[in-house]
Amino acid sequence: MKLNHLLIAMALLSFYSCKKSDEHKTVEELYNTYKYGRISECKHDGETVFSAEMNAYDAPTVVYDAEGNQIGNCNYAWGSVDSICNELEDCEVVYRVEDNIWGQEAVDKYELGD
């Protein structure tokens, strides 16, 4: 019986390790596009998603799933706002460029900067 518990624990650990690696890879890929902007890690229906935007006043916020697929567009400047934009929870800024339009300090939680 103890062997079964050990195997289950190892399988769960492997699953969560892969998931974290995928999410970190996604953040790195988003950084390549948004290095002059902001990236936040959020929850949507219990899943990790990312919102990202460029450092510009009329730039849309784009929502991505953990694999990096675009799942929403929040273009408040031009009126195209998907419903997911209002459903994001527990957002944490994980990257924000220095000298930004938001007047907030730079953030680089995952040390993405060059």
pLDDT tens digits, 78-90: 888 999 999 999 9
Tokens representing 8 are 């289950």
Q: Is residue 110 scored above 50 in pLDDT? A: yes
Q: Is residue 2 scored above 90 in pLDDT? A: no
Q: Is residue 62 scored above 90 in pLDDT? A: yes
pTM for the full predicted model: 0.80
Q: Is residue 19 scored above 50 in pLDDT? A: no
> What confidence score (pLDDT) does residue 16 get?
40
> What confidence score (pLDDT) does residue 113 get?
84
Nearest-CA neighbor of 35 among 102, 91, 103, 94? Answer: 94
> What confidence score (pLDDT) does residue 79 get?
83
Give Cβ neighbours of residue 91 (< 8 Å, ≥ 6 apart). 40, 41, 42, 43, 51
Nearest-CA neighbor of 113 among 98, 101, 91? Answer: 98
Least confident window among 18-27, 93-102, 104-113? 18-27
Q: Where are the beta strands (DSSP E) in 8-66?
A: 37-44, 47-54, 61-65
